[in-house]
């Protein structure tokens, strides 16, 4: 634990060094100043928009920018950034008391980081490996399970490349078969998804792999029911939860899947390069290591053996731990509620403006991502226009899908600014 005084003076030191190195003075000043205080929790009860407006001050995103692309990467707030610097400040002096605790940093149990995360996501420490992101964790799963040529993995047509491609590689190299179900846009209800999966399962299906929240439309798939379906048929379930940690409450034991991956740099606002792989205790011994160093053949390490990847970026884990702490301080219930409110608001407004909703009408199947189809508007054109003329970041997919991410730090006035810009763009198009 770093004391506040030492912590601040250490920042001043870093800031001085930053100046000497010619780093932007604004950043140096930022390191010297005290972070704005977190808003009083009581404010939430009296005026929740004021509460989130205060919370917004923790983020470096300039006030004149509207960031609607948290689904790609989040923005780490001050407590997280400071924790990362604390991590460097603590370790870079090379003064560890134990001479064997030299910061080679790839061989630790990292329990001080795994424990709070395990509690946050509802599993045990031994079932968690701290890896760099969901892509890495998904690759571990696709490469690590025993499968014979002809064995099938069943997934959706809305998987991210970082989820699907590891399986495609295995298919090309070793002859497993990738099969896909096509999700309707929008997904009407959970039963529709369950039926699609159930009907596509064959005697060769070995793994159900699906995103808990898809990158394409942001639909929240019924992960608990799909995991139960897989279990009932002796099939393994592997869930890509890149978007889930920090967006919605998550309890992996309740979910009941066999494996789960995530990228907390998105909705938990953790540092980039801090992801996790969860493997249910009963399944750990069935998963081979992909990246290998000492410890890979020591079953008693449990999931820790998957995080032994050689020298690693431990200060990112300091930041991840701070991100968990911040989410706990705010409360996941409040965060999830805010996420839902803002996404519902932006969706309703877009539909009123003639957009076709690709977001599920079932509230249980949506959270903080609203997807709409706005044909004939071209996404690349509007994305550039929004950024270059309005300082508004949106993202989507060809030809005409807009995916709007609504993190808790997004304010209602930011959404209104985006909506006004959208109206202006449409009007300009109509006049042209």
Ligand X SMILES: Cc1ncc(COP(=O)(O)O)c(C=O)c1O
240 lies in the site for ligand X, by CB under 6 A? yes
Q: What are phi and psi of 179, to 5 degrees?
A: -120, 150
Nearer CB in complex with ligand X: 31/379: 379
To ligand X, the closest distance from the beta carbon of 316 in angstroms equals 12
Task: Measure the CA–CA gap between 393 and 406, rounded to whole angstroms.
Answer: 12
Task: Measure the CA–CA gap between 117 and 126, rounded to whole angstroms.
Answer: 11
Residue 37 falls in which region: left (phi positive, over 0), alpha (psi -120 to 50) or beta: beta
CA distances from 338 to 51, 108, 181 (A): 11, 37, 32
To ligand X, the closest distance from the beta carbon of 73 in angstroms equals 8
Going by DSSP bridges, is the β-strand pair 177-181/152-156 parallel, antiparallel, or unpaired?
parallel
215 lies in the site for ligand X, by CB under 6 A? yes
134 lies in the site for ligand X, by CB under 6 A? yes
Whether the CB-CB separation of 303 and 129 falls below 8 Å is answered with yes
Nearer CB in complex with ligand X: 55/117: 117
To ligand X, the closest distance from the beta carbon of 12 in angstroms equals 33
274 lies in the site for ligand X, by CB under 6 A? no
Q: Which of 215, 240, 243 is nearest to 358 (CA)?
A: 215
Residues 151-190 that bind ligand X (CB under 6 A): 160, 162-163
Going by DSSP bridges, is the β-strand pair 401-405/395-397 parallel, antiparallel, or unpaired?
antiparallel
Nearer CB in complex with ligand X: 163/271: 163
- Select from 121, 242, 314, 374 the one that contacts ligand X (CB under 6 A): 242
Nearer CB in complex with ligand X: 39/162: 162
- Select from 69, 143, 263, 360 the one that contacts ligand X (CB under 6 A): 263
Q: Is the dihedral of CA 216, 222, 227, 233 positive or negative?
A: negative
Q: Which of 178, 187, 258, 257 is nearest to 221 (CA)?
A: 187
Q: Which residues contact 196 (CB under 8 A, 6 or more apart)?
A: 181, 182, 183
246 lies in the site for ligand X, by CB under 6 A? no
To ligand X, the closest distance from the beta carbon of 206 in angstroms equals 21
313 lies in the site for ligand X, by CB under 6 A? no
Binding mask 57-96 for ligand X (x = CB under 6 A): ---------------x------------------------
Whether the CB-CB separation of 131 and 156 falls below 8 Å is answered with no
368 lies in the site for ligand X, by CB under 6 A? no
Residues lying near ligand X in the complex (CB under 6 A): 72, 133-135, 160, 162-163, 211, 215, 240, 242-243, 263
């Amino acid at each position: 634990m770093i004391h506040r005084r030492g912590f601040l003076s250490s920042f001043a030191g870093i800031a001085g060094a930053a100046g000497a190195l010619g780093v932007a003075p604004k950043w140096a000043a930022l390191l010297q100043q005290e972070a704005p205080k977190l808003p009083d929790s009581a404010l939430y009860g009296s005026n929740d928009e004021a509460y989130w407006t205060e919370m917004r001050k923790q983020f470096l995103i300039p006030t004149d920018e509207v960031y609607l692309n948290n689904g790609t990467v989040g923005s780490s707030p001050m407590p997280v950034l400071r924790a990362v610097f604390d991590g460097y400040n603590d370790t870079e002096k090379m003064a560890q008391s134990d001479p064997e605790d030299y910061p080679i940093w790839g061989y630790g149990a990292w329990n001080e980081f795994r424990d709070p995360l395990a509690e946050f996501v509802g599993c045990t420490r031994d079932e968690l490996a701290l890896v760099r992101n969901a892509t890495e964790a998904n690759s571990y799963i696709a490469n690590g399970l025993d499968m014979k040529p002809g064995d099938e993995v069943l997934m959706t047509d809305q998987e991210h490349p970082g989820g699907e491609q590891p399986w495609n590689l295995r298919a090309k190299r070793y002859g497993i078969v990738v099969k896909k179900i096509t999700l309707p846009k929008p997904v009407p209800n959970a039963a529709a998804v369950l039926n699609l999966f159930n009907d596509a399962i064959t005697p060769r299906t070995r793994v159900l792999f699906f995103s808990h929240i898809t990158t394409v439309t942001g639909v929240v798939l019924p992960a608990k029911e799909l995991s139960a379906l897989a279990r009932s048929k002796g099939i393994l379930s592997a869930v890509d939860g890149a978007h889930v940690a920090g967006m919605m409450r998550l309890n992996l034991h309740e979910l009941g899947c066999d494996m789960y991956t995530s990228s907390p740099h998105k909705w938990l606002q953790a540092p980039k390069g801090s992801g996790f792989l969860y493997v249910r205790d009963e399944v750990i011994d069935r998963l081979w290591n992909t990246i290998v160093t000492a410890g890979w053949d020591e079953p008693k390490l449990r999931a820790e053996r998957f995080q032994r990847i050689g020298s690693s970026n431990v200060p990112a884990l300091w930041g991840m731990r701070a991100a968990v702490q911040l989410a706990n301080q705010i409360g996941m219930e409040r965060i999830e509620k805010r996420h839902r409110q803002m996404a519902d608001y932006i969706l309703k407004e877009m539909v009123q403006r003639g957009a076709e909703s690709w977001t599920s009408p079932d509230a249980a199947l949506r959270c903080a991502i609203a997807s709409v189809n706005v044909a004939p508007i071209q996404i690349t054109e509007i994305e550039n226009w929004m950024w270059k003329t309005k300082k508004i970041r949106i993202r989507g997919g060809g030809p005409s899908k807009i995916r709007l991410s609504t993190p808790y730090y997004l304010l209602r006035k930011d959404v209104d600014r985006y909506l006004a810009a959208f109206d202006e763009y449409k009007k300009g198009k109509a006049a042209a």
